[in-house]
């Protein structure tokens, strides 16, 4: 009788371990999806700049906005007794970078240059959507022109068109920093 009880206990333990294994995997999958979704939403909120590249001590308006969001996020994690919110925030920043620029592909790992591929300074190729490429390059032109001491009438008109193009992409021109 004791042998049967021990066999049942072992079988119950094995079943419990198998279920716990599945629960962990499902929890991780759900947590990953939630982090990726959150990162994507933050990218939408801050489409005019790479918020995930800002340093923790950035004192710009953008930096302050990101820091405020990060602090709110930390509060939620601390409420759940999470032991390392910094790690989770770092993961979200990485997911946001991947969401915006795609996964870097080491040159030569795949075929030739793909449509819309961009060569980065880190020798990684990033495939950007046409909308993202327009958004980034128009923003760079807008910032460049704004920093100039003076512009010709033609360039002033061009700057107005760049601003309209950015607005048509959903960018709040007032939120573009230098």
- 108 within domain boundaries: no
The model scores a pTM over 0.75: no
- 125 within domain boundaries: no
What pLDDT, on a 0 to 100 scale, did the predictor assign at position 47?
92
- 36 within domain boundaries: yes
What number of CA atoms fall less than 13 Å from residue 168's CA on the CB side? 9
Q: Encode pLDDT of 115-135 as tens digits.
A: 444 444 444 445 667 888 888
Q: Encode pLDDT of 152-171 as tens digits.
A: 999 999 999 999 998 888 88
**Count: domains in the chain:** 1
What pLDDT, on a 0 to 100 scale, did the predictor assign at position 45?
92
What is the distance between the alpha carbons of residues 4 and 137, in angstroms, rounded to a whole number? 72
Q: Tell whether the model's pLDDT for residue 87 goes beyond 70.
A: yes
pLDDT category of residue 178 using cuts at 50, 70 and 90: low
- 45 within domain boundaries: yes
Q: Which of 40-49, 122-131, 168-177 has the lowest mean pLDDT?
A: 122-131
Q: Which carries the bigger pLDDT value, residue 109 or residue 140? A: 140
Q: What are phi and psi for residue 136, nearest 5 degrees? A: -65, -45
Q: Encode pLDDT of 56-86 as tens digits.
A: 889 999 999 999 999 999 988 888 888 888 9
- 64 within domain boundaries: yes
What pLDDT, on a 0 to 100 scale, did the predictor assign at position 97?
92
- 110 within domain boundaries: no
- 42 within domain boundaries: yes
- 111 within domain boundaries: no
Q: Which of 1-5, 30-34, 151-155 has the lowest mean pLDDT?
A: 1-5
Domain assignment of residue 86, given as a range:
10-101
């Amino acid at each position: 009788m004791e042998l049967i009880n021990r066999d049942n206990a072992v079988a119950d333990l094995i079943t419990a371990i198998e279920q716990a294994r599945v629960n962990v995997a499902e929890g991780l999958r759900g947590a990953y999806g939630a982090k990726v979704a959150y990162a994507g939403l933050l990218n939408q909120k801050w489409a005019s700049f790479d918020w995930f590249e800002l340093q923790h001590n950035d004192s710009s308006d953008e930096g302050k906005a990101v820091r405020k969001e990060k602090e709110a996020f930390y509060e939620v994690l601390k409420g759940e007794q999470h032991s390392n919110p910094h790690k989770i925030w770092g993961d979200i920043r990485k997911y946001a970078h991947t969401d915006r620029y795609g996964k870097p592909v080491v040159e030569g790992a795949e075929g030739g240059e793909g449509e819309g591929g961009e060569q980065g300074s880190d020798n990684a190729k990033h495939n950007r959507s046409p909308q993202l490429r327009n958004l980034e390059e128009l923003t760079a032109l807008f910032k460049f022109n704004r920093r100039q001491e003076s512009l010709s009438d033609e360039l002033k008109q061009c700057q107005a068109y760049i601003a309209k193009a950015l607005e048509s992409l959903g960018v709040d021109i007032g939120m573009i920093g230098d």
